[in-house]
């Protein structure tokens, strides 16, 4: 059997990467400075120590190309890592395409997605610093359930503020969090001042990730025993996810291939970045100049394709540092689409920076077309994908169909971020014809952007 005839590529646990890749020292241009929300001046480590353990703060700004993965974190990773790289032979046949499609499947983690890669690391570093409790937000519940799992591993109490619409749409994610010992409440909640104020103003507010972040940050800032944890966007979070791409590089070598195109879904961007960052260094060096990297977002929350590249808060209340990113405005309230993990107003600064430099492409896709792609993937490859992941599947299929038209046998690498086993209500809505497409109007984007903070840089 030839290398390329294999359908699955496994790494031995002894071959699992032992370092995370930090892209910061390799960037063609440095990232824009992170600014303090009150003073507008560059943030310092001391400014962040109320919310994060110092180890993570140092990773956020580290000049080191590789960061050692602590043995305790590696031990936890071995519960599900290394994950498998698959060749999508059945999908290729159905599409009648000469393209070779590979996908790295992160759905075998305990929480069913890529999120534990950073949740375990963040819980570990908080444990080292003596933190007893962590507050966080979650959209679809992937992040909340992952941090709940990590909290159980390291004996840390977890409080999760879950976007209200997803709290109702995805009750089994809440059950997963509770099974791992976390407390999950709908956001807005009566547990914080910002939550109480919003409920008084609009008792039916459906919530947003930006608002849930405000609640979680307020919670952490009000207690001495609590830190805050974020599941995407920040540099150290993306770095923890590079275990995905580092494994994928080794597995693509086993397959005798190198990707021409890398595709991933983006909300905050951690899964996508975890896959492509270990490969983009070859683009920087000129070794693979023609590598295409495609970020896929929903038309209902189009930060990269319709947003502004500007400084903005990461939350509604303006409690977080100011990040330069593609944003729809921090008070943007997305429609209640089923891809709850992609309903965030801003994009990770690293991805935003690379997109602004023309090194990463962006594409927005409608909800119904993503489900059509997800169903085709299920009926060929057998995996019931999360609604978020379906966005990347849609563009993977589109690129493979372009290869059918052109006759080019390109190699496409899909970042498959997780399964949809607790998202079956979304599948039911699709099959019953209740799903609708929603493209966020340009005028609403423009209106929201008028409220961006004024920054003198």
Q: Which residues contact 355 (CB under 8 A, 6 or more apart)?
A: 295, 304, 326, 347, 361, 362
pLDDT tens per residue, range 147-156? 999 999 999 9
How confident is the model over 165-172, as a mean pLDDT?
86
Please tell me whether the overall predicted TM-score, pTM, comes out greater than 0.85 for this model: yes
Q: Which residues contact 146 (CB under 8 A, 6 or more apart)?
A: 109, 111, 113, 115, 116, 119, 231
Q: What number of other Cβ atoms are within 10 A of residue 191's Cβ?
A: 17
Q: What number of other Cβ atoms are within 10 A of residue 13's Cβ?
A: 11
Side-chain half-sphere exposure of 282, counting CA atoms within 13 A: 15
pLDDT band at 317 (very low <50, low <70, confident <90, very high): confident
Q: What is the pLDDT of residue 445?
A: 81
pLDDT tens per residue, range 20-53? 999 999 999 999 999 998 899 999 999 999 999 9
Q: Which residues contact 61 (CB under 8 A, 6 or more apart)?
A: 24, 45, 235
CA–CA separation, 48 and 36 (whole Å): 10
CA–CA separation, 368 and 440 (whole Å): 15
Q: What is the pLDDT of residue 1?
A: 34
Q: Which residues contact 9 (CB under 8 A, 6 or more apart)?
A: 84, 85, 86, 87, 251, 252, 254, 255
With a cut of 80, say whether residue 342 has pLDDT above it.
no
Domains, the chain? 10-16+81-112+241-448 (3.40.50.1100), 19-66+115-235 (3.40.50.1100)
Q: What is the pLDDT of residue 208?
A: 84
Q: What is the pLDDT of residue 457?
A: 66
pLDDT band at 341 (very low <50, low <70, confident <90, very high): low
CA angle, 207 as apex, 203 and 212 as ends, to 5°? 115
pLDDT tens per residue, range 174-208? 999 999 999 999 999 999 999 999 999 999 998 88
With a cut of 80, say whether residue 127 has pLDDT above it.
yes
pLDDT tens per residue, range 45-63? 999 999 999 999 999 999 9
Q: What is the pLDDT of residue 286?
A: 92
Tokens linked to 386: 């999360």
pLDDT tens per residue, range 138-148? 987 889 999 99
* Cross-strand pairs, 416: 105
Residue 278, CA distances (Å) to 26, 36, 66, 237, 325 in order: 11, 30, 11, 14, 21
């Amino acid at each position: 059997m030839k290398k390329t005839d294999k359908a699955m590529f496994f790494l031995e646990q002894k071959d699992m990467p032992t370092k995370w890749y930090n892209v910061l020292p390799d960037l063609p241009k440095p990232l824009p400075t992170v600014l303090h929300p009150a003073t507008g001046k560059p943030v310092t480590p001391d400014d962040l120590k109320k919310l994060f353990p110092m180890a993570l703060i140092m990773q956020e700004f580290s000049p080191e190309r590789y960061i050692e993965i602590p043995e305790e974190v590696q031990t936890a990773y071995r519960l599900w890592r290394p994950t498998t790289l698959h060749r999508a032979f059945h999908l290729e046949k159905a599409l009648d395409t000469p393209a070779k499609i590979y996908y790295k499947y992160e759905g075998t983690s305990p929480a069913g997605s890529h999120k534990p890669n950073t949740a375990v690391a963040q819980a570990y570093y908080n444990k080292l610093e003596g933190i007893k409790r962590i507050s966080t937000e979650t959209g679809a519940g992937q992040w909340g359930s992952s941090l709940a799992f990590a909290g159980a591993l390291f004996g840390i109490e977890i409080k999760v503020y879950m976007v209200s619409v997803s709290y109702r749409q995805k009750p089994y994610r809440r059950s997963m969090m509770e099974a791992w010992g976390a407390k999950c409440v709908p956001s807005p909640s009566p547990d914080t001042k910002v939550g109480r104020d919003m409920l008084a103003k609009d008792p039916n507010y459906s919530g947003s990730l930006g608002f849930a972040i405000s609640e979680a940050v307020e919670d952490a800032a009000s207690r001495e025993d609590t830190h805050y944890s974020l599941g995407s966007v920040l540099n150290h979070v993306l770095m923890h996810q590079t275990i995905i791409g580092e494994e994928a590089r080794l597995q693509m070598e086993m397959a005798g291939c190198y990707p021409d195109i890398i595709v991933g879904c983006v909300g905050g961007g951690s899964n996508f970045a975890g896959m492509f960052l270990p490969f983009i260094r070859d683009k920087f060096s000129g070794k693979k100049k023609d590598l295409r990297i495609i970020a896929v977002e929903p038309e209902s929350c189009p930060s990269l394709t319709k947003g502004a590249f500007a400084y903005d808060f990461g939350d509604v209340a303006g409690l977080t540092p100011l990040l330069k990113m593609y944003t729809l405005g921090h008070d943007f309230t997305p429609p209640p689409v089923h891809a709850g993990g992609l309903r965030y107003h801003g994009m990770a600064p690293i991805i935003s920076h690379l997109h602004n430099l023309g090194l990463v492409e962006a594409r927005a896709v409608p909800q119904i077309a993503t489900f059509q792609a997800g169903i085709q993937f299920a009926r060929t490859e057998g995996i019931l994908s999360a609604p978020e992941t379906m966005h990347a599947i849609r563009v993977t299929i589109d690129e493979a169909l372009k290869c059918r038209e052109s006759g080019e046998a390109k190699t496409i690498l899909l970042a498959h971020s997780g399964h949809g086993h607790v998202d079956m209500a979304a599948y039911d809505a699709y099959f019953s014809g209740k799903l609708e497409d929603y493209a966020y109007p340009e005028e609403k984007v423009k209106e929201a952007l008028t409220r961006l903070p004024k920054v003198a840089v």
